[in-house]
């Protein structure tokens, strides 16, 4: 049985050596694993991560390295690792040691109970209150728009079977959201509770702006609910406008003076804002269609090792 460990790398040069050592120790202790590979996908972080990956690959032929031509993003890095892995099972984990390599054994053990996906559920997240709050808000909006129930304590750390890998590789849309795509596939899924460590070094690359961008990307890519909401809002405004028109006609019939230029201007501005917002939503969907029709590669590899 071959096990692939897929690790996207971005600004993680100080983490790579201790991460590698702990992963190797864990894999060597696993029963039933006859071979393994560790795939580092370096997302052009402009630090010394690639040089360290090359050093590890020269020392251990189980280590494989991929470097992108530019920064494509974490989920594109995961996609590259999954597409190129050779394992019967694959583990996806972050490089900052917040995901503990020792928990790979627990994921593997749970998978042997008949699950094709086993997610690591983080207990007592070691993130700032702002990060936890924005993450929670993101998952609430995602569930509401996409109709998929998603545990906010689950990130990318999980193990998946070859069946899941093969199915995931058929999903070639340019917008990537690893957790949402795996959830959508619907294979039997198990969970284990894991300890969530503080970052080994540095800070998260996910700023509020990037999280907001990711939320919009996922919502537009995996749900047409914003379009249906815009239709509902338009119908509601039309209904209230019709009721207001009827009321104005009744007032005019009874000779009641009709005034209110300020309310008229506010109504015009309000409707103008709604129209522009709806056009923006439609534009986002059209932009997504345009991105998909160009058929550009999901990522571009600059260097490989092993």
Whole-number Å distance between alpha carbons of 296 and 220: 19
Pick 28 or 288 by higher pLDDT. Answer: 28
- SS3 of 14, please? coil
- pLDDT at residue number 11: 82
Q: Residues 137-163: what's their mean pLDDT?
A: 77
Q: Is the pLDDT of residue 22 over 60?
A: yes
For the whole model, what pTM was predicted?
A: 0.76
- The pLDDT of residue 137 is 72
Is it the case that residue 131 has pLDDT exceeding 70? no
Mean pLDDT across 71-93: 94
Residue-wise pLDDT for 101-125, tens only, equals 999 999 999 999 999 999 998 877 6
Q: Which residues contact 185 (CB under 8 A, 6 or more apart)?
A: 117, 164, 167, 168
Residue recorded with tokens 């571009």: 300
Q: Average pLDDT for residues 40-53, to the nearest whole number?
A: 90
pLDDT band at 203 (very low <50, low <70, confident <90, very high): low
**Which pLDDT tens digit goes with each residue over 209-257?**
666 666 677 767 777 777 777 777 777 777 777 777 777 777 767 766 6
SS3 content of the chain, % helix, strand, coil (to 5): 50, 15, 30
The pLDDT of residue 87 is above 80: yes
Phi, psi of 7 (to 5 degrees): -130, 105
Q: What is the pLDDT of residue 177?
A: 82
What integer pLDDT is reported at residue 205 of this predicted model?
A: 58
Q: Residue 263 class from Cβ within 10 Å (0-12 exposed, 13-18 middle, 19+ buried)?
A: exposed
- Is pLDDT at 206 greater than 60 in this prediction? no
Mapping DSSP to helix (H, G, I), strand (E, B) and coil, where does residue 206 land? Answer: coil
Average pLDDT, the chain: 82
């Amino acid at each position: 049985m071959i096990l692939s460990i897929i690790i996207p790398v971005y600004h993680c040069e100080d983490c790579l050596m201790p991460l590698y050592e702990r992963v190797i120790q864990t894999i060597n202790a696993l029963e039933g694993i006859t071979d393994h590979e560790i795939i580092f996908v370096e997302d052009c972080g402009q630090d010394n991560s690639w040089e360290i990956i090359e050093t590890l690959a020269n020392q251990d032929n189980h280590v494989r390295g991929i470097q992108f031509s530019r920064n494509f993003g974490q989920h594109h890095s995961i996609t590259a690792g999954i597409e190129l892995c050779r394992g019967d099972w694959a583990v996806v984990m972050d490089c900052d040691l917040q995901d503990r390599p020792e928990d790979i054994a627990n994921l593997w053990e749970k998978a042997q109970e008949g699950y094709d996906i086993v997610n690591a559920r983080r207990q007592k997240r070691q993130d700032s209150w702002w990060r936890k709050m924005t993450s929670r808000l993101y998952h609430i909006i995602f569930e509401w728009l996409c109709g998929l129930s998603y545990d906010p304590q689950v990130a990318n750390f999980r193990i998946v079977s070859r069946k899941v890998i093969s199915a995931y590789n058929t999903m070639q849309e340019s917008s990537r959201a690893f957790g949402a795509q795996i959830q959508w596939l619907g294979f039997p899924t198990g969970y284990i509770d894991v300890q969530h460590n503080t970052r080994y070094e540095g800070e998260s690359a996910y700023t509020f702006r990037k999280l907001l961008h990711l939320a919009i990307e996922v919502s537009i890519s995996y749900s047409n609910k914003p379009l249906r909401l815009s239709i509902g809002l338009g119908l509601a405004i039309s209904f209230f406008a019709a009721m207001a028109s009827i009321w104005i006609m009744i007032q005019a019939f009874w000779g009641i003076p009709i005034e209110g230029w300020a309310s008229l201007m506010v109504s015009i501005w309000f409707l103008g804002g709604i129209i522009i917002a709806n056009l923006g939503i439609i534009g986002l969907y059209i932009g997504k269609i345009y991105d998909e029709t160009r058929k550009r590669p999901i990522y571009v590899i600059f260097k490989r090792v092993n």
